[in-house]
Chains A and B, each alone.
Chain A
Amino acid sequence: MLYGYGILNNHVPTLKATAMGGVSITDTDALAFISAASITNNTQKSAINTFVLDLKSASIWTKMKAIYPFVGGTASQHRFNLKDPRTLDAAYYLNFYNGWTHSSTGAIPNGTDGYADTKLIPSSILSQDSTHISYYSRTNNTTGGLDFGASNLNNASQLQAEIKGTDGTTFFRVNRSVGTSGSSTSMTTSSLFYMINRMSSSQEILFRNTTKNTFNYNSTGLTAKSLYLGAFNYNGTALYFGSKENAFTTIGDGLSDTEASNLYTAIQKFNTTLSRNI
C-alpha cells in the first residue's frame, strides 16, 4: 500500500518500510522506481530494493547518474532510470527507437535500426577524467556494431564501445578523440558484465566481469551528444547498430577497483535473483 505517494513531484514519504503486495520495500529510491515503472512482481520488487541498498552500502549510489535495470519485461517499463524515475528528459528517461525485443530477461536491439537515447550528455553531467559505463550483455555473438556511445562531429571526442566485433576483439574509447587508436583486446565471449572506466587523465580501464585491463590513453574531452544504447550517436545520427541483449546498464563517475567489483557483485546478485544471470 502506498501512503500519499506523489510521483509527479518525486516525493517519497519518510517510511522505514513500505509494504507493497506483501514485499517490504525499505528504501525510498527503490520505492519510487517500483511505483513509477509499475513493477508488480514481488521477486523483482525485492531485487530492486536489495540492489539499491547494496549500492548505498558500498557508497556507489551517489556516483551513478543513470541506472537502467531493464526490469518488468516491457518497453514502457524498461524506459525508467532507477536513479531518477521521472518521465522527463532531464531524468534520462529512455526513448526506444525502431527494432527492439523486450522481455523479462532484458532488452535486445535488433542490430539493424534499434537504439535507445538516454538523453544523458556527457559534457553536461560527467567529468573528463571520471567516467564509467557498464553493459550487462546476455548475448554471445560476433556480429559487431557498437553497443553504446556518442561522439561530436569529426569524432573529436568519443565515449563508446563495441563489446565484441567481427574480429573477436572489443574496442572502446573513454572521453578522447580518434587521434589515437581505440583500446582493444581479444574477447572470449560477449556474454558478460562489461564496463569501461576512466579514473585519470592518462588511463582508461576495461572490466570484464571482475577482470581488469588498463590502457594508456590520455583523455581529450567530453562529447556534447547524448549517449545511445544499442548503437553509436555520431553527432545526432544513429550508426553501427548492435545486437546484444542488455540486462543492466549504469552510467556515472569513474569507479575504483573495489567499487567496480562491488557494482559487479550487486548487478550479478540482481540478475541471479531474476534468473537471468550469465
Chain B
Amino acid sequence: MIKVKELTEAQKNVLVGQTYDGVQFMDPPQDVNGKWILSLEVYNAITLVRANEIGVISWWFTLPEIDYNPIVREEI
C-alpha cells in the first residue's frame, strides 16, 4: 500500500502555490475519503531550509502518515 502524508485543509492552503524545489509546485489533492494528501516524494524533497522559508516548519514533522486511497475513475 502506498503511503502519503495527511494534511488539514489549512495546511493544504499554505502549500498551494508554493514550490518545493524552486521549479515544481505543490497542489495537494483529496483522496477518496476527502482527506488532503501529499505524496512522500514531495514531502521528502523539501529541505529544512525550504520548509522554514514557506512557514511550515512548526508542523511539517508531525504530519501523520496514512494509506493512500485514490479516487478511482468511474466507468462512464
Could you list which residues of chain A lie within 8 angstroms of chain B, going by C-beta atoms?
74-76, 79, 95-101, 110, 112-114, 144-146, 155, 162, 165, 178, 181-182, 232, 237-241
Contact = CB atoms under 8 A, between A and B. Distances in A.
B39 A99 contact: yes
B76 A238 contact: no
B76 A98 contact: no
A182 B76 contact: yes
Contact of A112 (B4, B25, B73, B76): B4
A98 B2 CA distance: 15
Contact of A113 (B23, B38, B72, B73): B38
Contact of B70 (A95, A96, A97, A112): A112
B42 A162 contact: no
Interface string B20-62: 0101111111000000011101100000000000000000000
B39 A98 contact: yes
Given A146-B73, A241-B70, A96 B23 contact: yes
A95 B25 contact: yes
A146 to B, nearest CB: 7
Given A75-B23, A110-B39, A113-B37, A98 B28 contact: yes
Contact of A155 (B23, B38, B76): B76
B29 A96 contact: no
A112 B72 contact: no
